[in-house]
Amino acid sequence: MATRLYTHPIFLEHLTPPGHPERPDRLRAIERVLDDEAFSALDRVKAPEGDEK
């Protein structure tokens, strides 16, 4: 069974207050690790953008 990874460049635009764990630098660090050959089997999907309803 494959593991699906949803990503989208807009995720890096989500700014949070200082000290908050979910921040663009953390996402960039995770992306660097997941770009390694060891994670090549991930099923990578560009997440659709949400809308404001």
Q: What mean pLDDT is predicted for residues 14-39?
A: 93
Contact between residue 6 and residue 45 where contact means Cβ atoms under 8 Å apart: yes
pLDDT of residue 29: 96
Q: What mean pLDDT is predicted for residues 7-36?
A: 92
pTM metric for this prediction = 0.75
Euclidean distance between CA atoms 9 and 21, whole angstroms: 18
Contact between residue 47 and residue 7 where contact means Cβ atoms under 8 Å apart: yes
Q: What mean pLDDT is predicted for residues 39-50?
A: 93
pLDDT of residue 50: 81
> Which alpha helices (H) appear in 1-53, and where do they start and end?
24-34
Q: What mean pLDDT is predicted for residues 32-42?
A: 97
Average pLDDT of every residue of the chain? 92
**E-state strands within the chain:** 4-7, 43-46
